[in-house]
């Protein structure tokens, strides 16, 4: 029926439209969103419907291979575009929206943006934040990003990225929450809560887009965009739960992914989108493709041309086409030819319009671009304070021999050396937002942070030493001379910020260039050297790890990097972060993760001849395990007690343990609970994180904490991919890392 509408006389259309718009305005209070969507849908031509399913980037900002269209404004006027991504700033979003208001049905545009770790205020990269294990802080970071972005006209963020990843060669590990499903699920939900605040439609909230559905993190060889081949059980047990957690937290949209899953591209995968997401999980929001991924199915070899790609994607449940231009060129014909049912297109349009209504855009299309609110939100001192807090919580102390950290504030001369000391933008990490007209000095460099901290008490010396990359050693001599003049040397080295991120897979995970050599030269001076490693992924640095007395893994910390690093170096913050990803000893150990299955010949030590399911040239252990991280105070664990020794399927067990701060610094400890099902119809991992608490303790203080074990924590997917708990014996382990188990007990689950 709709395709005949263009044939009607334009005056009739205008009267009809005005009538319906009037109805939708006057009845807005009484009509439900579903009714408003339906009345609008009835007015739309097929081309206008397809337009709603189409998303382009704003010209000039590329987060993928850009196709420039000169007539984009014209297309918006013709209702050929439902959404634009990468529109930066309130003014620009307003001007695009004005154009949309000249279209026949005045359907507002939806503005999407990768607000991944902040908008103007840049927070640490998500993997770094994950190491804080501080859900409230991560929720706050996402909240602030939403407050800033929504004031700048952004309706929708392409975050959180919830892909579990066990391969640090993959550059996108920086964007997620690491390797663990339980921790990743908690963080996914916290970030959705943060972005969406009190709900979609609040002017200080942005709609979340959970990505990349699904299994993108398991790309073969850690090569970006690569294939994924995994069992259904692995998919359900390890990779899907963070998506489900994000959905349960209310996430409005999902993004599918570039990879194929067991031979079917995720973008055209109806098992993922129709059966699981929109079927079993009853997801009522919409799915956007990844950038160009609809058209890229031609390269995958699953479809023959753009029309075939559009058919495959829309039928599989991909509602919006980001940038591939397949829907816009072919979908209307596919419908008129009867290849794609109109009902499928209507369903996709309905899902998108519903979100536009929920956002309140039909009531006021400009409600998210308010210059006053924007100016205030982008200059809020509380945001910088939160970024500093998040950043210091993200720094992982890997080594601290002879307690050389924290550095005493009375230290006379400090040498601050390395290519990252005075770097500005490097601190922002990969997914920063480049706002027009915003001064990049908004970043507190590491040099500035330290200067501010030591004030006039100490002398701060500087030498660059070398570049991040290349083999120029000409700065070594000056660096060594500078170190010799100091009481303490701080060396800041690492990756370039864009060596991790999308399309940034690396086969060599060493610290680039001659930076480690520089470190070795400085260590030869005999001065205490504290090494800061800035990176977007776990790197391999065994020589340095053995030789340096103190190492802080700082990741990329964002706007407040310098202040946060200074706080930790001088003990104004006691580091509390724990690794959310295993650090390998060598690229050859990858994939490496803590929750592996035992083999029939489990490695019991490094020297067993036959019982050695690892490599002859490497320790069986990673360099730093999941959950590892030191602080300035040791914590002791004692008195593990289980309320009962056995529980039924409907029962629970309380496990309590006492943690004591045995040092002289107040601090926080992440107490980790792991479980192992000793005998199962499907073999179970050696241990799985099932709960954790982050607690603050004053020096000498003790706290008893209690975990509750219920059937849910003991369940897993069986061979029929059913979620079951099997009676039998379990081991409960409580520790300071996945390897550093301090207390354990066994209990039984009965029928």
Residues assigned a catalytic role: 290
Q: Give the count of beta carbons closer than 10 Å to the beta carbon of residue 423.
A: 22
CA distance linking residue 444 with residue 453, whole number of Å: 12
Q: Which of 24/83 has CB closer to ligand NOJ?
A: 83
Residues numbered 545-604 forming contacts with ligand NOJ, rule: CB under 6 A: none
User: Is there binding between residue 290 and ligand NOJ (CB under 6 A)?
Assistant: yes
Taking the complex as a whole, how short is the minimal distance between the CB of residue 290 and ligand NOJ, in angstroms?
A: 5
What are the residues whose beta carbons fall under 8 Å from the beta carbon of 267, sequence distance 6 or more? 256, 257, 258, 289, 290, 293, 294, 296, 297, 312, 313, 316, 318
Cβ atoms of 559 and 118 closer than 8 Å: yes
**x/- site string to ligand NOJ, residues 183 to 212, per CB under 6 A?**
----------------------------x-
- What six digits make up the tokens of 175? 């964007």
User: Is there binding between residue 63 and ligand NOJ (CB under 6 A)?
Assistant: yes
- The b/e string for 598-634 (b: 16+ C-beta within 10 A; e otherwise) is eeeeebeeeeeeeebeeeeeeebbbbbbbbbbbbbbe
Q: Which of 63/413 has CB closer to ligand NOJ?
A: 63
**x/- site string to ligand NOJ, residues 602 to 641, per CB under 6 A?**
----------------------------------------
Cβ atoms of 173 and 556 closer than 8 Å: no
First to last CA, the chain: 59
Q: Which of 267/672 has CB closer to ligand NOJ?
A: 267
User: Is there binding between residue 226 and ligand NOJ (CB under 6 A)?
Assistant: no
Q: Which of 320/581 has CB closer to ligand NOJ?
A: 320
Q: Give the count of beta carbons closer than 10 Å to the beta carbon of residue 456.
A: 5
Q: Which of 115/391 has CB closer to ligand NOJ?
A: 115
Q: Which of 165/515 has CB closer to ligand NOJ?
A: 165
- What six digits make up the tokens of 504? 């940034």
Q: Which of 224/374 has CB closer to ligand NOJ?
A: 224
**x/- site string to ligand NOJ, residues 489 to 508, per CB under 6 A?**
-------------x------
Question: Per this entry, what is the length of the chain?
Answer: 751
Q: Which of 174/340 has CB closer to ligand NOJ?
A: 174
Q: Which of 188/395 has CB closer to ligand NOJ?
A: 188
Q: Coil, helix or strand for 693?
A: strand
Nearest residue to ligand NOJ on Cβ basis: 63
Taking the complex as a whole, how short is the minimal distance between the CB of residue 50 and ligand NOJ, in angstroms?
A: 21
Taking the complex as a whole, how short is the minimal distance between the CB of residue 219 and ligand NOJ, in angstroms?
A: 12
* DSSP conformational letter for 322: E
The only residue of 119, 286, 291, 674 in contact with ligand NOJ, by rule CB under 6 A: 291
* Cα Dmax for the chain: 87
Kind plus residue range of the DSSP H or E element containing 139: helix 135-151
The only residue of 64, 221, 549, 571 in contact with ligand NOJ, by rule CB under 6 A: 64
CA distance linking residue 686 with residue 177, whole number of Å: 21
Taking the complex as a whole, how short is the minimal distance between the CB of residue 160 and ligand NOJ, in angstroms?
A: 11
Q: Give the count of beta carbons closer than 10 Å to the beta carbon of residue 497.
A: 25
Q: Coil, helix or strand for 383?
A: helix
Kind plus residue range of the DSSP H or E element containing 43: helix 33-43
Taking the complex as a whole, how short is the minimal distance between the CB of residue 116 and ligand NOJ, in angstroms?
A: 8
Cβ atoms of 154 and 200 closer than 8 Å: no
Count of residues engaged in binding ligand NOJ, rule: CB under 6 A: 9
**x/- site string to ligand NOJ, residues 119 to 158, per CB under 6 A?**
---------------------------------------x
Q: Give the count of beta carbons closer than 10 Å to the beta carbon of residue 570.
A: 17
Taking the complex as a whole, how short is the minimal distance between the CB of residue 672 and ligand NOJ, in angstroms?
A: 30
Taking the complex as a whole, how short is the minimal distance between the CB of residue 242 and ligand NOJ, in angstroms?
A: 15
What are the residues whose beta carbons fall under 8 Å from the beta carbon of 367, sequence distance 6 or more? 203, 360, 361
Residues numbered 106-125 forming contacts with ligand NOJ, rule: CB under 6 A: 114
Q: In whole angstroms, what separates CA 115 from the centre of its chain?
A: 10
Using CB under 6 A, list all residues that contact ligand NOJ.
63-64, 85, 114, 158, 211, 290-291, 502
């Amino acid at each position: 029926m709709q395709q005949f509408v263009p044939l009607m006389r334009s005056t009739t259309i205008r009267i009809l439209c005005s009538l319906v718009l009037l109805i939708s305005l006057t009845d807005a209070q009484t009509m439900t969103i579903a009714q408003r969507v339906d009345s609008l849908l009835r007015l739309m031509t097929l081309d206008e419907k397809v337009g709603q399913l189409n998303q382009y980037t704003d010209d000039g900002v590329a987060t993928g291979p850009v196709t420039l269209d000169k007539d984009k404004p014209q297309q918006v006027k013709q209702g050929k575009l439902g959404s634009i991504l990468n529109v930066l700033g309130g003014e620009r979003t307003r001007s695009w929206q004005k154009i949309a208001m000249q279209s026949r049905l005045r359907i507002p545009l939806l503005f999407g943006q990768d607000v991944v770790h902040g908008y103007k205020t840049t927070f640490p990269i998500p993997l770094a934040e994950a190491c804080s294990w501080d859900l409230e802080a991560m929720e706050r970071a996402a909240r602030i990003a939403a407050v800033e972005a929504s004031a700048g006209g952004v309706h929708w963020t392409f975050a959180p990225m919830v892909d579990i990843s066990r391969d640090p060669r993959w550059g996108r590990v920086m964007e997620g929450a690491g390797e663990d499903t339980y921790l990743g699920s908690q963080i996914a939900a916290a970030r959705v809560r943060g972005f969406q605040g009190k709900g979609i439609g609040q002017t200080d909230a942005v709609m979340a887009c959970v990505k990349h559905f699904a299994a993108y993190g398991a790309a073969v060889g850690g090569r970006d965009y690569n294939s994924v081949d995994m069992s259904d059980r692995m998919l359900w047990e390890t990779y899907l739960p963070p998506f489900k957690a994000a959905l349960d937290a209310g996430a409005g949209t999902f993004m599918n992914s570039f990879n194929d899953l067991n031979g079917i591209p995720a973008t055209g995968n109806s098992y993922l989108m129709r059966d699981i997401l929109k079927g079993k999980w009853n997801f009522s929001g919409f799915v956007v493709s990844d950038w160009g991924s609809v058209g890229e199915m031609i390269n995958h070899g699953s479809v023959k041309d753009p029309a075939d790609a559009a058919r495959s994607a829309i039928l599989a449940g991909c509602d919006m086409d980001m940038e591939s231009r397949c829907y816009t060129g072919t979908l209307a014909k596919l419908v008129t030819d009867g290849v794609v049912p109109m009902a499928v297109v209507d369903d996709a349009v309905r899902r998108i319009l519903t979100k536009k209504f929920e956002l309140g855009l039909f009531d006021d299309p400009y409600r998210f671009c308010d210059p006053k609110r924007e100016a205030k939100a982008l200059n809020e001192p509380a945001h910088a304070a939160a970024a500093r807090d998040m950043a210091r919580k993200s720094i992982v102390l890997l080594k601290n021999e002879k307690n050389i950290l924290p550095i005493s504030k009375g230290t006379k001369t400090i040498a601050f050396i390395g290519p990252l000391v005075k770097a500005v933008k490097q601190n922002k990490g990969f997914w920063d937002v480049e706002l027009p007209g915003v001064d990049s000095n908004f970043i507190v460099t590491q040099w500035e942070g330290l200067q501010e901290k030591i004030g006039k008490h100490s002398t701060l010396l500087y030498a660059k030493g070398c570049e991040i990359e290349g083999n120029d050693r000409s700065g070594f001599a000056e660096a060594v001379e500078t170190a010799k003049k100091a009481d303490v040397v701080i060396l800041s080295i690492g990756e370039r910020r864009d060596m991790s991120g999308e399309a940034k897979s690396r086969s060599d995970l060493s610290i680039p260039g001659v930076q480690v050599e520089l470190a070795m030269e400085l260590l030869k001076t005999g001065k205490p050297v504290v090494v800061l490693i800035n990176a977007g992924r776990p790197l391999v640095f065994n020589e340095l790890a053995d030789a340096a007395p103190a190492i802080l893994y700082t990741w990329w910390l964002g706007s407040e990097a310098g202040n946060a690093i200074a706080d930790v170096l001088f003990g104004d913050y006691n580091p509390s972060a724990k690794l959310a990803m295993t650090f390998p000893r060598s690229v050859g150990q990858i994939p490496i993760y803590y929750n592996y299955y035992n083999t029939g010949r489990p490695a019991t030590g490094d020297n067993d001849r036959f019982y050695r399911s690892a490599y002859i040239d490497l320790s069986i252990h990673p360099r730093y395990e999941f959950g590892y991280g030191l602080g300035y105070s040791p914590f002791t664990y004692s008195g593990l007690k289980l309320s009962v020794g056995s529980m039924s399927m409907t029962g629970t067990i309380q496990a309590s343990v006492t943690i004591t701060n045995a040092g002289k610094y107040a601090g926080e400890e992440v107490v980790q609970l792991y479980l192992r099902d000793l005998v199962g119809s499907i073999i179970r991992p050696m241990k799985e994180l099932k709960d954790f608490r982050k607690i603050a303790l004053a020096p000498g203080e003790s706290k008893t904490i209690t975990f509750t074990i219920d059937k849910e924590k003991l369940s897993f997917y069986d061979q029929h991919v059913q979620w079951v708990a099997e009676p039998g014996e379990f081991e409960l382990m409580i520790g300071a890392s996945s390897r550093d188990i301090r207390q354990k007990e066994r209990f039984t689950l009965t029928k």
